[in-house]
A and B are shown apart, each in its own frame.
Chain A
Amino acid sequence: MNASLMSLELWVIVLGVVLMLADFLVAPERRRFLAYLAIATLGALLITNLGDATTGTAFHGAFVEDTLAIFFKRFFLIAAMLVLFMSLEFSDRIAGGISEYYSLIAFALSGMLFAASANDFAMLFVSVELITITFYVLTSFQRSRLVSLEAGVKYLILGALSSAFLVFGIALVWGTTGQLNFTELARVAAQFETNKIFLIGVLFVLVGLGFKIAAFPFQIWVPDVYQGAPTPSTAFLAVGSKAAGFVLLLRVLFTALPDVAKHWADLLIVISGITILYGNLCALPQRNLRRLLGYSSISHAGYLLLGVAALSITGQAALLYYLAGYLFTVVAAFLVICVMMRHLDSEDISGLAGLNQRSPLLATTLTLAMVSLAGIPPMAGFFGKFLLLKAVIQQGAINHNHGYYCLAFTALAGVVISLYYYFGVIRAIYWSKNVPDLSPIPLSGSVKFAACVCIAGMFWIGLFPSVVLNLATEAAKALAL
């Protein structure tokens, strides 16, 4: 038992509480600058974490600190810092207390950090709920806007439904096997492979996690919530919540139930393929930028599931690498939308007209983000998709399973379809015919900084993949397949 392993989580929770209490102590006009305090704290925690790679378990194996957990913790810290920069820009649009908003981000972050370390179904449930319940509030934070409330209620109903499935699944798995701990469950799971109640339980757990990562057929909430929620919440939802879903999915499938995962390869292949096609096809007619990114996020859940379906260390490493690139790409896109909404009051793609003259930095950021999402070299998205496809085709060659080839083909078709709408956005920026307004958009220092960090991240991960890929491979090895 080594509780000092979770000092990072405890510090983040302390930060959340301090931010909430600061609401009483700090004058209202200075409250938005509390974000700098939060960013500085998270930055200090990240630097401490970079130097310290202690591994171990705590609470009888319920909390595990391994390379995978460390990889995801750094990921979540970076995501939260970028989102805080974005919410600094957004702060004047939030009527309620901005310091509450910051503290909710810190609490959601602590949930994600716990999720990265969860090695027990009780831990999994509590961390998932900590993330989800915090996001109910973050999604509906603009109480004066009807769409924000509506997005919050939709997320609430479907989120609660998925947690009900998750809990019932956990109850059935625990009831049949008698184990909550993933490592111990792996030892006994083989003898329950034909037990129907056990398999239903596993299926229900996967339903609950499928909701978090927005895989088909649990993706219905995504477009509405992405469109209605405040932009920084959407960005955090798209990056943090999705990644938390994936780390839990990896742990459940490969640490706890490796044998079930092998038998269900076909199911994973089908879900991954349908998710890719659904996301990309539904994104085609969208004119609302955030809705478009919502559908694009569904399709990316599908690409990421390629790495899960591949059932190999290369596949999992590719998934982690892809997530790292996806972090900077998606935050970049939402950062531009956040600034754009403030100055244009429009989320329509046509609102982007003349952006290259109004603000070259924003235009460059959004263009690079779209190029990376589409998977064009040399951006992060290209190499990630390449690795994922490689892992899937390798697995197909090893297992002689034609499903893997079909999946690779589907993913390629998805990439081709996605070029159309991603380049629709780029075309709107540079080649729009009627440009109503060419006044330059003033950018605050925090936006400039965050945009530069995102661009640098996208290029760095794309051009020098070895550093992140090595980390990802090390992390995937922790999953013991």
Chain B
Amino acid sequence: MNVGLEHYLTVSFLLFALGLLGVIMRRNLLVIYMSLELMLNAANLALVSFSRFNNKLDGQVLVFFIITVAAAEVAVGLALIVALYRKRQSAHVEDLTSMKL
């Protein structure tokens, strides 16, 4: 079997869907955050495979930007979740209820 662009894209869509599912279904903030990273990496995979099959380098360059930004986002995000955990002794979304609807 010859692996083509569509295979990579299918994997990328699947990763994205899995990540989205994780964000919706999971109740632990850290797991939700991991699922979000999965979604970002799905986009990276799509970019790299488009880049490879279309012979254009823009996508590869953009991936570097995305990786850098995601690292910054993780740094801030984990710090926030840890700060919340210290205050609340819990990292579950059900406990985020101090503001009324």
Query: A residues bordering B, Cβ < 8 Å?
Result: 121-122, 125-126, 129, 133, 136-137, 140, 143, 146-147, 149-154, 156-157, 160-161, 163-165, 167-168, 170-172, 174-175, 178, 180, 197, 223-224, 227-228, 291
Residues of A contacting B99 in the complex (Cβ-Cβ under 8 angstroms) = 147, 150-151, 223-224, 227-228, 291
Known A171-B50, A175-B50; further 9 A-B contacts with Cβ < 8 A: A122-B61, A147-B98, A153-B80, A157-B33, A160-B33, A160-B77, A164-B19, A164-B40, A291-B99
Q: Given A125-B69, A136-B76, A146-B88, are A168 and B62 neighbors across the interface (CB < 8 Å)?
A: no
Instruction: List, in ascending order, chain B residues with CB within 8 A of A150's CB.
Output: 84, 96, 98-99
Q: Cβ of B98 and Cβ of A153 under 8 Å apart? A: no
Output the nearest chain B residue to A144 by Cβ-Cβ distance: B87
Contacts of A140 in B (CB 8 A): 80, 83
A163–B29 CA distance with the chains assembled, in angstroms: 17
A180 touches B98 (CB 8 A): no
Do B43 and A168 touch across chains, with their CB atoms under 8 A apart? yes
Whether A129 lies near B73 (C-beta < 8 A) is yes
Q: B46–A172 contact, CB under 8 A?
A: yes
Identify the closest chain A residue to B56 (Cβ): A178
CB proximity to A under 8 Å, residues B54-92: 54, 56, 58-59, 61-62, 65-66, 69, 72-73, 76-77, 80-81, 83-84, 87-88
Q: How far is the CA of A167 from the CA of B50 in the complex (A)?
A: 14
Chain A: interface secondary structure? helix
Most buried by B among A122, A157, A170: A157
Q: Are A133 and B76 closer than 8 Å at their CB atoms?
A: yes
B62 A170 Cβ-Cβ under 8 A: yes
Complex interface: chain B residues within 8 A of A137 (CB): 76
Q: Nearest Cβ in chain B — how far from A171, in angstroms?
A: 4
A290 to chain B, nearest CB (A): 10
Asked if residues B36 and A143 are in contact (CB atoms below 8 Å), the reply is: no
Output the least CB separation between A63 and chain B (Å).
15
Instruction: Mark B15-59 against chain A: 1 for CB-CB distance below 8 A, else 0.
Output: 010010001000001001100100110111011001000101011
Q: Which residues of A contact B36 (CB under 8 A)?
A: 157, 160-161, 164
A155 to B75, CA, bound (A): 15
CA distance A149 to B56 in the complex (A): 43
**6 tightest CB-CB pairs across the interface, nearest first?**
A175-B50, A164-B39, A167-B43, A171-B46, A168-B43, A160-B36
Q: Which residue of B lies closest to A139 (CB)?
A: B80
- A133 vs B71: C-alpha distance when bound (angstroms): 11
Please tell me if the beta carbons of B73 and A149 are within 8 angstroms of each other in the complex. no
Chain A residues with Cβ under 8 A from B58's Cβ? 122, 174, 180
